[in-house]
Amino acid sequence: MSMESQIENTTSDTQPILEVQNLQTAFFTDKETIRAVDGVSFDIEPGETVGIVGESGSGKSVTARSIMGLVDSPGRILEGSSARFTHLETVQEYASSFPGKTVDLNRLEEEYDPSAFNQPGVSVTPGDLGYERAADVPLADVVAAGYGSELGLDVSDDDCVFVTGGDPGSPESITDGFVELSRLSGEPQRQMRGGRIAMVFQDPLTSLNPVYTVGNQIKEALRLHQGLRGEEATREAAQLLEDVGIPDARRRVNEYPHQFSGGMRQRAVIAMALACEPELLICDEPTTALDVTIQAQILDLLAELQEERDLAMMFITHDMGVIAEISHRVNVMYAGEVIESANVETLFAEPKHPYTRGLLQSIPGRQEGDRLQTIEGNVPTPNEPATYCRFAPRCPKAFNECTAMHPESVPVTEGEDDHTAACLLYPEDRSSDEALAIHQQRTAAQATETDPTGESE
Ligand SMILES: Nc1ncnc2c1ncn2[C@@H]1O[C@H](COP(=O)(O)OP(=O)(O)OP(=O)(O)O)[C@@H](O)[C@H]1O
Ligand code: NI
């Protein structure tokens, strides 16, 4: 996790609905360990669309699947990762439905002693959590990242609801807390997925069952998540199809997926996602398989629905043009890491990371000459720890240190915490030596990274 993400969290005036901190997801194959997501941090606020952009293989889908709890073997989310869903109603509901998995952090605070980091046998360090000093590590970070029992606290690996304000015993009194998504399983996970958080994939056919009518599939979602049945469900299903712009919805509700065009199918999938009344909608390249006109229509639809319903949205694409259109804030990913983060206007007006600049040059109409630039080469498979810049081999600005030091996410100019880049050229208002020293310091603070091949589970 980067230090500035913590500063950001405390200075932001809106409470995020999702806080991803130091997310790490690796695939353990016979041959190698692929660190598909390698320390990703970002927030999503209610009503905000956060874009994730990067070339193929940069870890966008694995990030989304990690949040959704859809990482399959041989992949898993590593200890030290955290994805906190802070939506208050959800926290209350979970505390009420899963009291055995709910922990009162105010009570636990009495037990918590940061000096436990120095106890023999404790391998986690404050650096693993992005802090320099043990005394600075908040209890919530410890338990969210799954280090609670290692530090001798009374929490179990099954605990996933953490209450920081109010009494978990009377859920309606809860004012603050989070559900830790990275450790959900079983029923709590089932209720989150498709309930509070819904996902739309690139291929609508992966979400639609060919043997049921579109209407019946929406009705099933309505039954599961809103308890609607019969006539009421039928009416609501047709209404949802109408909401997503399917003409003649009353008739089409009785048709099968194969009777829908590609664009109409994706609209139906969006209707199905909305049937769950999610707080957060994750879209993974929802328009990539569609032709340009239809693509534009679906983007408009998503933007419209988002505004109407005040949805938080995470939008994944490799297309900078699409990102510009739909996002409020953008995270650029490369080989498992977020290498630049800024609000959309800033990112397009003042891209800082050489990779982001390269991506922007590859949008038709944005380059100087008439030739479309693409960055030569491919995203490397992140199969070793990031002790260097993974973009260096393709970077026009690379210098010696880039292959010897890991660039940490730093403000592009000192104090400008909402525009960060993981590049040794920054902060740009510091001398080159000073900038390098800042990166080195941050890397050193995290020196004892958890070894994903080791014993941690
Ligand atoms: N099941 C798996 N087993 C092994 N490696 C995997 C698996 N799924 C993903 N990976 C690896 O994780 C890395 C990131 O993949 P991911 O699908 O997240 O990329 P992406 O950014 O979504 O790319 P695209 O734009 O092509 O969808 C890749 O190196 C990929 O090979
Ligand atoms: Ni993908």
Helix (H, G, I), strand (E, B) or coil at 16: coil
62 CA distance to ligand 1 middle (Å): 6
Residue pair 63/52 in contact (Cβ under 8 Å)? The answer is yes
What pLDDT is recorded for position 433?
A: 96
Q: Indicate left, alpha or beta for 374 from its phi (over 0: left) and psi (-120 to 50: alpha).
A: beta
381 CA distance to ligand 1 middle (Å): 9
Listing DSSP states for 81-124 in one string gives -EEEE--HHHHHHHHHH-GGGEEEHHHHHTT--GGGGGSTT---
Q: Whose CA is nearest to atom 7 of ligand 1?
A: 27
Summarised one tens digit per residue, pLDDT across range 373-412 is 678 889 999 999 999 999 999 999 999 999 999 999 999 9
What pLDDT is recorded for position 444?
A: 83
Dmax (CA) for the chain in angstroms is 70
Q: Whose CA is nearest to atom 25 of ligand 1?
A: 56
Summarised one tens digit per residue, pLDDT across range 406-444 is 999 999 998 888 999 999 999 999 999 999 999 998 888
Residue pair 274/207 in contact (Cβ under 8 Å)? The answer is no
What does each C-alpha distance from 57 to 63, 205, 233, 380, 393 come to in angstroms?
A: 11, 22, 40, 8, 16
Residue whose pair of structure tokens reads 């802090």 in the numeric block: 131
**Crossing angle, helix 230-243 and helix 214-226, to 10 degrees?**
110
What pLDDT is recorded for position 415?
A: 85
> Which atom of ligand 1 is found nearest the CA of 379?
29
Question: Which residue ranges have their beta carbon within 6 Å of ligand 1?
Answer: 27, 29, 34, 36, 54, 56-62, 72, 75, 318, 381
Helix (H, G, I), strand (E, B) or coil at 153: coil
Q: Whose CA is nearest to atom 13 of ligand 1?
A: 36
Say which DSSP state 193 is in.
B
Helix (H, G, I), strand (E, B) or coil at 100: helix
**pTM given for the model:** 0.92
167 CA distance to ligand 2 middle (Å): 40
Q: Is the ipTM of this complex over 0.90?
A: yes
57 CA distance to ligand 1 middle (Å): 5
What pLDDT is recorded for position 1?
A: 43
Low-confidence ranges of the chain (pLDDT < 50): 1-12, 449-457
What pLDDT is recorded for position 6?
A: 44
Beta-carbon count within 10 A of 147 CB: 25
Report the C-alpha gap between 102 and 167 in whole angstroms: 11
